[in-house]
A and B are shown apart, each in its own frame.
Chain A
Amino acid sequence: MSIRMPFRLKLFLPLGVTLAGLLVAALAAVDSTSAERIDDLIALRARQGLRSFQELGRRRQRNLIEALDLLATAPRVRAAFLDRGSLAEAMQSALYEVGLRQTAMDLLVVADADGKVVSRYLYPAGAKQADPIGARPLPLPVPSAQHLPEQELIARVLAGDAPETLDPILVVEDRLFLAVPTAILDLDVAVGVMVLGVEITDADAAEVHGFQSENDHIAWLVGGQVRATSFSGAEERRRATEALAVALPTQREDTPRQQAVSIGPESYRALIQVLRPAGDPAGGPVHLALFISMDSLVRFRAEMRSLTMILALIALALAMAVSLLVAGQVSRPVRDLAEGTRRIAEGDYAYRIQAHSGDELGDLARSFNRMAEDIASKEKVRAVLNKVVAREVAEELLRSDLGLSGRLVTATLLFADLRGFTAFTRGMDPERVVSILNEHMTAMSAEILRERGIVDKYVGDEIIGVFGAPRSYPDDALAAVRAAVRMRTRLEEQNRERRLRGDAPLAMGIGLHTGRVVAGCMGSQDLLNFTCIGEAVNLAARLCTSAGAGEILISEATLVAAGDRVQAERREPLRLKGFDEPVAAWQVQIVADQPGTECGGGA
């Protein structure tokens, strides 16, 4: 089973498929690149968030250290530490100074020269927010045996570490603080330690948040509970806590990892960093969670995708159109050629192809046109030939390659001419003469041709027909006689019409003889005439001259050759010019349909 695929489709398909494939590949590449970009963007924003957090943390720490230094060098505080040697008084003086200087403070601790905590003051949770003016820090109990969270900072600063190098995260009473220590020195001997802490609140979260993109958020957690966050609404905070409760347990301590988290309708990538592991003496676990908003990114990606899709579809349509165009352009000359050959095959030799291009296809078209012209002119020649020469002769000529050679054949010659034609046409218009003659010749020729004879030539008003050359049939003589009878009948019909028209009738006499003749194309190379030569020809001609109007004279040979269907009356042997002996002649009356059967018909 073979499907006929138009040439244009054959061209279009590979082109179109390739282009479509390339476009799909490009689309996929763009899509995957944009996915990568989004991941990069998320990582970048997470890094930025962390950096802002770290930077602000360091800045807060520096501020705290500065504030603590101011406290520690306040004359009252120093006097209490150095001159009085009273740590309790030092704490009270420090609290006094805090109030005086409006120092930011949530936690204040005083320890002795050995690092043992002596006094701790802490603002109750939410006290400052509730009553900014009246809120007071309250003393915390100092358990003797327990290890306090601020102990680590105190020990390190007594060991000589610079405060800015210490980790400021501190968890006291389950609350998150940023704290720094300082050693009180009497010249170069430590006489005590002070620790100043500020609570990490939503305001801090808001400050970090201010350096991130608007929809990103941050949260600090202590023991899995959110202590400070940039999420503003109560509902959002609750949802954030819930989401983190799920995400935290899966968090590994070593490297922060991105997790997809949903808070209400918004989706985030959460980056959770462990600031302090659980069980740390300074308090823990403390986590920092950065929320990178996915919404804008997801939206961005969707937009990118749809934009790419649209562009790809447009490009695809264009590609298809271009492919179609190109396929059409390339296939058109081919189709034109196919059409041309079809038309030529059908016989429309006048069809020409338009040759546009200067390439091989254009050459092909031009060759085709030349070929068509050749064919057309050959056909013209053939048509002319057929008009001028009997078709069978023409075919024979063409077939035998226009051989000059003649053949000796037995043929029946038929001569028919008009009686008194010259007189008949005297004084007539030349056009009218030609017209009458043509009418007559057409009718007579038709009868000859019908009986498979050929018209040798027309000589004035005389027709010469040949039966038996170039092709011969068994009943050539009979056919010839029949043709003659038909010619006579036809003439009578035409004469009736003429009379009705008011024209004069024509009179014709016919002579036939069967004999051996030489038949072939006679003449020069350039001008040939198919004809017959021989005594038989002369005899037929003479018989015709002897025939009267409406008479068909046949020779004995013809009579014999024609057989007993011919009914003819015997005539006196004729003395004919060129023949020594008188020639027997018969006048044909009718040709029976069946041998020996009478048939109707006039004489």
Chain B
Amino acid sequence: MASACRAWTVVVLCVLLALPTATADLVGAVELPARRARAKMAADKRYPGAPPSAGETARPPAVVFVEGVPSEVPPPALTAPLTVEQVNRQFRPMILPVPVGATVSFPNRDDEYHNVFSRSEAKELELGRFGQGESREVTFDRPGIVRLRCEVHSGMHAVVLVLPTRWFTVCAEDGTFALKGLPAGKYRVYAFHEDARPQEKGGDPMRAWGKEVEVTAKGDTRVDFDLSGKSP
């Protein structure tokens, strides 16, 4: 008798498992805010003879993350090893969303020293001076915006966005994103970009731009963000 119950449980479970789960994709596009003039970066005179910084030419993409997803649902796996390279006197990528507790490595791909540090509340870093081929590892244990800088090169700047959720993605160059495998439900979706002006002063800088979104079970749910501030 017990074996039959076990067998039926297995069959039911299999049937249940075999049934397609009710998940959806969240898609959209984030319109980036106008590039804001950065304070002019004077030539690095600290290390005599050091050639000037390359300066920022590229723009970081926006990051979209969702909060409120029940934790039973397995989040997407982390795609790549978490690294922030120092290459060509820039950080690459310029924005790296990581879940809380992640460990990020910082390999130096340049043929000169870098000295990566951060004074952000979310994580104070002092990686010290290390040369080509060397790397350091840091575990980010608190959520928040961690601004990375290099003591030697004033033009080097990146953000590690430590998120309390694993439901996040980095937008493509054109601003589009797709977050797959979300269960249906009501969630809060946020878009983050450094240049985005908060709508109200004094709020959480990470969650300055957010929307309530109802993700439907079937098909794609679309949500767009206009961070330029042109439309309300």
Contacts and interface: CB of A to CB of B under 8 A. Distances in A.
A73 B38 CA distance: 11
Interface in A66-92: 66, 69-70, 72-76, 78-80, 82-84, 89
The 9 closest A-B pairs by CB, nearest first: A79-B119, A187-B36, A84-B119, A75-B149, A83-B119, A83-B147, A83-B120, A69-B42, A185-B39
A79 B119 CA distance: 6
Contacts of A78: 39, 149, 154
A101 interface: yes
Contacts of B45: 70, 101
Contact of A76 (B38, B40, B151, B195): B151
Contacts of A214: none
A100 interface: yes
A79 B118 contact: yes
B150 interface: yes
A188 interface: yes
Nearest to B194: A187
Nearest to B39: A185
Given A73-B40, A83-B147, A187 B118 contact: no
B46 A74 contact: yes
Interface in A90-108: 97, 100-101
A97 B47 CA distance: 12
Given A74-B154, A75-B150, 13 more contacts: A70-B42, A75-B149, A75-B156, A79-B117, A79-B118, A83-B119, A83-B149, A97-B46, A101-B45, A184-B39, A185-B39, A187-B36, A187-B195
A75 B151 CA distance: 6
A188 B149 CA distance: 19
B50 interface: no
Contacts of A79: 117-119, 147, 149
Instruction: Say what secondary structure dominates the interface of chain B.
Output: loop
Q: How large is the interface on B (under 10, 10 to 19, 20 to 34, 35 or more residues)?
A: 20 to 34
A84 B121 contact: yes
A101 to B, nearest CB: 6
Interface in A376-416: none
Contacts of B46: 74, 97, 100-101
A189 B226 CA distance: 21
Contacts of B121: 84
A201 to B, nearest CB: 24
B73 interface: no
A89 B124 CA distance: 14
A83 B42 CA distance: 19
B154 A83 contact: no
24 contacts: A69-B40, A70-B42, A72-B39, A73-B40, A73-B41, A73-B42, A73-B154, A74-B46, A75-B117, A75-B149, A75-B153, A75-B154, A78-B39, A79-B119, A79-B149, A80-B119, A83-B119, A83-B147, A83-B149, A84-B120, A100-B46, A184-B39, A187-B36, A188-B36
A73 B52 CA distance: 13
B16 interface: no
A66 B154 contact: no
A101 B48 CA distance: 9
B58 interface: no
A84 B122 CA distance: 10
A76 B151 CA distance: 7
Interface in B133-186: 147, 149-151, 153-154, 156
B4 interface: no
Contacts of B195: 187
B100 to A, nearest CB: 19
A66 B40 CA distance: 12
A184 B117 CA distance: 20
Nearest to A89: B119
B15 interface: no
B5 interface: no
B86 to A, nearest CB: 13
Contacts of B38: 187
A97 B46 CA distance: 8
B37 interface: yes
Contacts of B118: 79, 83
B37 A188 contact: yes
A190 to B, nearest CB: 11
A96 to B, nearest CB: 11
